[in-house]
Amino acid sequence: EIVSALHSGADVVAGHVEVYARDDRRPHPVEAYELVHAFPQETYVRRGGGSVTANLATLRTTFDAVGPFRHELYSGADIEWGQRAGALGMSTVYCRKAVVRHPARDSFGALNTKLRRVIMGRHERNVLDGAPEAAPWPPLRSLVPPVGALRRARDPRLVTQRARAGFVIGEFYHRYAAAWHHLRLAI
């Protein structure tokens, strides 16, 4: 599917990443959270041409034109690379039929590690792009409970009541762990 999309004229192809839990009927809250939120390739492409390398393909000529990944970034070099490609006029397409299966993170510690890495990587990118060295304070909205989680808990990937409840717990954990990492970075 990816090769077909490249032959059709795409410069970069972002394939679908299907996240799965060890047991979709009894997922850990972090697994439930990731079933709904992890690797939103279609959204990344729509918002600016980014893509995660979990399912990304390009041509050598495109890679040479865009240049290498920014090795100095702790995280997010794949998204930054895709956005750089877009800024150069390269076309990125989302290919739903090109599927890679990826296990969900399955512990609070694993999600915490990811959040620290992603938040630090984003800050590093901002600084490299000219932002002040000091990180901003987390926005006040990051302290508001994620009540929208109750609505999103109806997602069809959450196949049991236990999975839906776990998802809500995962949403709360994600919200406040991210706020904590933003606060630590600002301090």
Integer Cα distance of 29 and 157 in angstroms = 13
pLDDT above 90 (res 48): no
Q: pLDDT-derived band of residue 49, with 50, 70 and 90 as boundaries?
A: confident
How confident is the model over 67-124, as pLDDT tens digits? 999 999 989 999 999 999 999 999 999 999 999 999 999 999 999 999 999 999 999 9
Query: Considering the chain, what percentage of its residues have pLDDT values greater than 90?
Result: 91
pLDDT above 90 (res 160): yes
Integer Cα distance of 111 and 28 in angstroms = 11
Widest Cα–Cα separation across the chain: 49
pLDDT above 90 (res 56): yes
Q: pLDDT-derived band of residue 139, with 50, 70 and 90 as boundaries?
A: confident
